[in-house]
Structure 1
């Protein structure tokens, strides 16, 4: 999820766990801890672009990392604040739960989270919520803000903070249930059209849990389609995307290609644009693909040598303004 969502969730957890004992310090500790797993962004100083893509949400997002760091931070915090009414075990629990919320929330998105590293490099991705969803974050933020403004220990403070946690949790549960429903509808439509595939994935489109993208996987490519829970018919129109592995032959020994294949879990297509060759990760969806099937994918990694791929997830030059794209998204969400 985006950093702002982690900040809000961390603040709410801090207040709920130790707010009555140490006041607003609990919120500060919760915010800091909930964003600590993203310390991996500093990997850009040491790794290549493709290596950084794998390092992100890797070891610093694992159960092992947050357990060890929680114990260390709990002990250090108590050592620095010897007069605190809270013992180091309770501080450790605060750090652990705040960081746990971060890695679990990230695992609900499409990127993939290395929860079990270094013992397993498999990335967990439940594909139930987009990396930024205002319907999750803003009501939550409003409640936490009201709690923060109330006096420490007051019923209003506890009430608003608990309301934020309940509303946000309900939204995540709704996202999970909607994902399961849409998965059933889209997979059934795929089978009814007698389309063969190895496995099938459904993931939300930007900023909502109402319009979803579904994509299949086989050795040659994927079938992609879109479905809104407000669509009148449950038949999904799928279109074919070829992987074009032959275009990767000149790059077969490149470390970047191996990294990208691992990151995408085989869900990719290779395209040539002018003199550049791009590795497109299907999992992150398209820009306005719900409206125009041939639109570019959100993740485009330039395979040409000496190219900057630090912004592979948002390097696209939009043919239309963001207002037009957002309007088309809202229109498609309403159903057809």
Structure 2
């Protein structure tokens, strides 16, 4: 999830666990610690572009890391912050639950995270929520702002914070239910159209959980389609993208390609533009694929030597203005009428 959402959830958890004991400081500590797993972004200074993509949400997003760091920080904090109201166990509890919430949110997105590292390279992803979803974030924002800027009152503060946590948690449950429903609809449409596939996945489009992209996986390529829960028809218009594995032959021994394949978990297609060859990770979707089947993919890695891939994952590659893109997205969320 985005930094703001992690910060707000951490702040809400801090208030819930230690707010009565240490007041607004609990919000600050929860917000601060909640973003600790994303320290892996510092890898950009010492890793190659492909290594950084794989390192992100790697070991710092593992059970091993959060257990170790929670115990260590809990022990150190009791010496740094002299407060008789909070013991070592309370600090450790705060840090562990806050860090665990970070892992939970990130596991629901499509990026994937190495939850069992360093013991396994398996990357977990449930694809039920987009990396930034205002419907989830706004209740947390209200629930945290009231106790932070308002008058401290234990009952009133706890009430608003609890309401924010409850509403946002129910929204996460809603996204899981919608995900399962959309998966059934889109997969059934594939079968009815007699389109072959080995595996099928759905993932939400930007900023919402009402409009989804579905994609298949097989050795030759992928089928991609879009569906809004407000569509009048359940027949999905799928389009085919060939995988074009043969274009990767010159790179078959390259560590860069190995990293990208591991990251994508096999969900990729290769495209060529003039002299540039691109490795496209399908899981992150297209920038505006519901308007143009040939639109660029959000994660498009230039395989050419010395290419700059610092922003290979960029969901903001709009060809039109941001306003036009947003209007287009909202109109498509409303659903197709036939």
Structure 1 CA distance for aligned equivalents of residues 318 and 79 of structure 2:
52
Farther off after superposition, 147-156 or 114-123: 147-156
Deviation at 1:198, TM superposition (A): 1.1
Deviation string 1:108-127 (CA, Å, 9 cap, x unpaired) is 00000111111111110000
Specify the alignment match of 1:306 in structure 2: 306
Deviation at 1:183, TM superposition (A): 0.5
Deviation at 1:83, TM superposition (A): 3.3
For the Cα contact (< 8 Å) 2:298–2:317, is it kept in 1?
A: no
Specify the alignment match of 2:174 in structure 1: 174
Specify the alignment match of 1:50 in structure 2: 50
TM-score, normalised to structure 1, is 0.98
Structure 2 CA distance for aligned equivalents of residues 164 and 10 of structure 1:
12
For the Cα contact (< 8 Å) 1:286–1:298, is it kept in 2?
A: yes
Specify the alignment match of 2:147 in structure 1: 147
1:75-154 map, 5 Å = 75-154=75-154
1:156-167 map, 5 Å = 156-167=156-167
Aligned length, in residue pairs: 336
Q: Secondary structure at the match of 1:283?
A: strand
Deviation at 1:148, TM superposition (A): 1.3
Deviation string 1:232-286 (CA, Å, 9 cap, x unpaired) is 1111111111111111111111111110011001111111111111111100000
Specify the alignment match of 1:59 in structure 2: 59
Structure 1 CA distance for aligned equivalents of residues 129 and 315 of structure 2:
22
Q: Secondary structure at the match of 1:30?
A: helix
CA gap of 1:83–1:298, structure 2 versus 1, over 3 A, is: closer
Specify the alignment match of 2:285 in structure 1: 285
Specify the alignment match of 2:295 in structure 1: 295
Specify the alignment match of 1:224 in structure 2: 224
TM-score, normalised to structure 2, is 0.97
Unaligned runs of 5+ in 1: none
Deviation at 1:46, TM superposition (A): 1.3
Structure 1 CA distance for aligned equivalents of residues 105 and 164 of structure 2:
16
Farther off after superposition, 8-17 or 310-319: 310-319
For the Cα contact (< 8 Å) 2:318–2:325, is it kept in 1?
A: no
Structure 2 CA distance for aligned equivalents of residues 205 and 331 of structure 1:
13
Deviation at 1:144, TM superposition (A): 1.1
Farther off after superposition, 166-175 or 76-85: 76-85
Q: Secondary structure at the match of 1:233?
A: coil
Specify the alignment match of 2:187 in structure 1: 187
For the Cα contact (< 8 Å) 1:62–1:114, is it kept in 2?
A: yes
Specify the alignment match of 1:27 in structure 2: 27
For the Cα contact (< 8 Å) 1:147–1:159, is it kept in 2?
A: no
